Amino acid sequence: MTKDLAQFRILAANLSGGTSNSEIKNMVMDIIMSHGIKGRVLDFGAGKGELIKLLSRIDGIEPHGVDIMKRPEDIPSGVSWRQQDLNDELSCAPEYFDAVICSEVIEHLENPRSVFRSLFAALRPGGKLVLTMPNQENVRSFLTLIFRGHSPRFRTKTIRPT
């Protein structure tokens, strides 16, 4: 990747604010709690680290973050953080994470399939992927985004392999 492209991506990340609204973070935390997720948890696209701070308060979770943005100064010192372009392959041991959270990130990736292959390789067998993404093509979502500044509450669905 060229230096100009990397600088553009960092600028875009900073302009986006590096965060999701509280409704999305609360929904992700509800999923984490209701599914009893523990162990090494990667927040892929951690931004300002707001979700990491919530995860670090849960006993049994070892939070890790990765983002193109620099490590936020206010996240707990015990949190592992890697600054890298999210389009690049993760540099961690295979089957390292018990869960990966990818919340409101997929729409920013150049090649989501490649990234998800990397995330799948990073998950231990039986590991969980928590994925959220906006549906901006839905009229209700579009209008709520314009008038309220966030996506409307959406339903969660658990997909289990057969």
For the chain, the C-alpha Rg in angstroms (whole number) is 16
Residue closest to 134 by CA, chosen among 152, 156, 112: 152
Check: CB of residue 48 under 8 Å from CB of residue 69. yes
The pLDDT value recorded for residue 94 is 80
The pLDDT value recorded for residue 12 is 59
pTM over 0.95: no
Class of domain 3-148: alpha beta
Q: What are the pLDDT digits (tens) for 3-31? A: 666 666 666 555 555 556 778 888 899 99
Residue closest to 39 by CA, chosen among 70, 20, 14, 64: 64
Domain ranges for the chain, please list them.
3-148
What value does the mean pLDDT of the chain take? 81
CA gap 95, 126 in Å, rounded: 10
pLDDT grade for 144, boundaries at 50, 70 and 90? low
Residue 99's DSSP bridge partners are: 41, 128
